[in-house]
Amino acid sequence: MNVSNEKSNYADLSFEAELTLKRLKPQLKQFWETTDELQPSIDAFNSRLDEYWPDLFNLLFQLYGTRYDFFYHLGEILLTCGRAWNNRDDELRQVDQKRIYDKDWFQSESLVGGALYVDLFSENLGKLREHISYFKKMGITYLHLMPLFAVRPGNNDGGYAISNYRSVDPRIGTIADLKGLADDLRESGIVLVLDFVFNHTSDDHLWAMKAQAGDPEFQQYYYIFPDRAMPDRYEETLREIFPTVRRGNFTWHDGMESWVWTTFNSFQWDLNYSNPAVFNAMVGEMLFLANTGVDILRLDAVAFIWKQMGTGCENLPHAHTVIQAVNTVSRIAAPGLLFKSEAIVHPDEVVKYISPEESQISYNPTLMALLWESLATRKVDLLRQSLSHRHKLPTHTTWVNYLRCHDDIGWTFDDADAEVVGINGYNHRQFLNKFYTGQFPDSFARGIPFQHNEQTGDMRISGTMASLAGLEMAVEEGDDDKKAAAISRILLLYGVTLSIGGIPLLYMGEEWGMMNDYDFIKDPAKAGDTRWVHRPKMKWEYLDNLEDDGAIRNQIFSSLVKMIKLRKQTPAFSGLTMELVSSGNNHILSYVRQSNGNRILVLANFSDNPRKITGNALRTAGLGRFFKNLLSDEVVATSEDLVLEPYELMWLNRD
């Protein structure tokens, strides 16, 4: 287990790579002869293979080089690539070709994302195709469909317990429906994002079933132990991710009379990537997904994919090596495909997954958490401190900026950043948990705890954007001022994620102020997981009635759509480069975005009081004498101080 080859005996690995490829190529040639692949596209494949093989060999050698069967597995991986290319449609190959030369296509200001559960949004894939006009109306150009594959019966962790990566959940549709949708989306200029849940399979996946039937080959696909000896040793350094589900990280399996590694739910079996057969098998599943027409794969739970005794088994160097190898495979077999990492961990670790060679795109959990933090404290010092050295990323990569998603909020800011601004991280997290569960005096939030660990005091927060921002309470109290404040908070947060640099991602339902749905506890398969409180069904009837009763929804919806439209018309909002400027005020976040000769100053007042920024500060930020607020069309002179209303947001363009 955990075979690695850090100290290789080979002086010149690139020579070994070349020699190995020479030895393997006849096998590949034989394969092409069994297909109808035309020579030019075989040549294109081969030229990418020649380009990326040295990297791929190097990465796989680090992971599996000491295995006696290394050479065999390399051959298999190569064939997996060949087969996938052979199965790739012409249309996707054309997209590949375009993206090879346009590496930064995803940096465009025209990219605006939405994420949804197909069953909750439109019941099935067929009906989703009918709703493309809705995405167009909103300006959504990037659509993340939550896992829609075949799952185990009962609790399936919101689709994250997959029993077959090659078949769609029959309640949602078929692979043919998925491909049809992908075609329609491509035609509409909408990018398709799907999950690649590669840390674990469901306990009823074929491999897990074979393991349960006693097949040793498939028992090696997972981490299975006959007694507590190894699990106990691992536990000494492991964290608990779902402590309310089960203590520890292992689940006893009666049939096998063994312990299985299950980081998340007990029915989600962690895959054993120290076995090259697992790597090859999962790369096969990944390329199958790529060939359905996916543009971006969301790499689920990346932090956990490599285990090593004596460590926390999170963010290990070989986890990166595995992902880089997966990425390199796709450069060869599906070159247009990008990866988005889901690493909801310490910001120092999040950033390590981001590079053109690993994940070109990453969730930005620190920005997410700190925007909520700023809303609670009404101050932006911690947010600024974090942004000042954490926003920048390598070229050809970007952030996905989100406020809510299907998961909980964890306060993953850096304690050292907090210390710089005089905040104690531990106490502050306690405060934020109290605030967002509505237990702090004057809190406007209606969140509920997720995975409260009594032992460590650790807790995360569930709740929809609107409920966390105060709308639920305001509506309940029938208080118009509070309603207005909640809406302003929501729009303020949108205004930042739409402008700060990166791809904004909405969790669908947010656009009409969806509130917590406490009915989830009626469903036994959901009752134990409070994240379901923020995963309600889309209520289309609300949107039909935007005019009268739906005043709040209308206001949120139309303001958001307007902001999305403006973002797309504003070249300064492309890419990532962002410069913080001093607002001279601890309540106003201020930054400049500049691109293609266009320059925008963003001001965001996180306070529930009016706050002032001096004309001098504005002029220093390079605004000149007059500027226009794109959001209100007002023109203002910098000869005077500028007052921002509570929670007011401005996108200022030099006029």
What is the C-alpha to C-alpha distance for residues 328 and 129, in angstroms, rounded to an integer?
32
| Helix, strand, coil shares, percent, the chain, to 5 | 45, 15, 40
**Bridge-partner residues for 151, per DSSP?**
162
Q: Which residue is nearest to ligand GLC (CB)?
A: 160
506-545 positions binding ligand GLC, by CB under 6 A: none
Decide whether 100 or 527 has the Cβ nearer to ligand GLC.
Answer: 527
Decide whether 229 or 527 has the Cβ nearer to ligand GLC.
Answer: 527
Backbone angles phi, psi at 546, to 5 degrees: -75, -20
344-363 positions binding ligand GLC, by CB under 6 A: 344
99-158 positions binding ligand GLC, by CB under 6 A: 157-158
Q: Let me know: does 149 contact 168? Beta carbons within 8 Å.
A: yes
What is the C-alpha to C-alpha distance for residues 264 and 269, in angstroms, rounded to an integer?
8
Q: Is 203 in the site for ligand GLC (CB under 6 A)?
A: no
Q: Is 300 in the site for ligand GLC (CB under 6 A)?
A: yes
Decide whether 82 or 365 has the Cβ nearer to ligand GLC.
Answer: 365
Q: Is 417 in the site for ligand GLC (CB under 6 A)?
A: no
Decide whether 315 or 574 has the Cβ nearer to ligand GLC.
Answer: 315
What is the C-alpha to C-alpha distance for residues 287 and 603, in angstroms, rounded to an integer?
43
User: Pick the catalytic residue: 342, 357, 373, 407?
Assistant: 342
Question: By three-state DSSP, how is residue 451 classified?
Answer: coil
Quick note: the x/- pattern for ligand GLC over 150-189, rule CB under 6 A, is: -------xx-x-----------------------------
Question: By three-state DSSP, how is residue 595 classified?
Answer: strand
Q: Is 301 in the site for ligand GLC (CB under 6 A)?
A: yes
User: Which of 96, 285, 381, 408 is close enough to bind ligand GLC by CB under 6 A?
Assistant: 408
Q: Compute how many residues bind ligand GLC; rule: CB under 6 A.
A: 15
Q: Is 655 one of the catalytic residues?
A: no
Q: Let me know: does 391 contact 578? Beta carbons within 8 Å.
A: yes
User: Which of 231, 284, 335, 410 is close enough to bind ligand GLC by CB under 6 A?
Assistant: 410
- Crossing angle for the helix pair 276-290 and 39-64, to the nearest 10 degrees: 140
What is the C-alpha to C-alpha distance for residues 212 and 208, in angstroms, rounded to an integer?
6
Quickly list DSSP for 512-547: GT----GGGGGSTTTTT-GGGGG-PPP-HHHHHTTT
What is the C-alpha to C-alpha distance for residues 252 and 528, in angstroms, rounded to an integer?
20
Amino acid occupying residue 99: R
What is the C-alpha to C-alpha distance for residues 336 and 106, in angstroms, rounded to an integer?
11
Stretch that binds ligand GLC, among 403-411, 414-422, 498-506, 513-521 (CB under 6 A): 403-411
Shortest Å distance, C-beta 310 to ligand GLC: 20
What is the C-alpha to C-alpha distance for residues 149 and 504, in angstroms, rounded to an integer?
25
Q: Is 264 in the site for ligand GLC (CB under 6 A)?
A: yes
What is the C-alpha to C-alpha distance for residues 439 and 431, in angstroms, rounded to an integer?
9
Q: Is 407 in the site for ligand GLC (CB under 6 A)?
A: yes
Shortest Å distance, C-beta 326 to ligand GLC: 17
Quick note: the x/- pattern for ligand GLC over 238-257, rule CB under 6 A, is: ---x----------------
Decide whether 508 or 592 has the Cβ nearer to ligand GLC.
Answer: 508
Question: By three-state DSSP, how is residue 166 classified?
Answer: strand
Decide whether 158 or 495 has the Cβ nearer to ligand GLC.
Answer: 158
Q: Is 460 in the site for ligand GLC (CB under 6 A)?
A: yes
Q: Is 342 one of the catalytic residues?
A: yes
Under the rule (CB under 6 A), what is the footprint of ligand GLC? 157-158, 160, 197, 241, 264, 300-301, 342, 344, 406-408, 410, 460
- Residues with a catalytic annotation lie at 300, 342
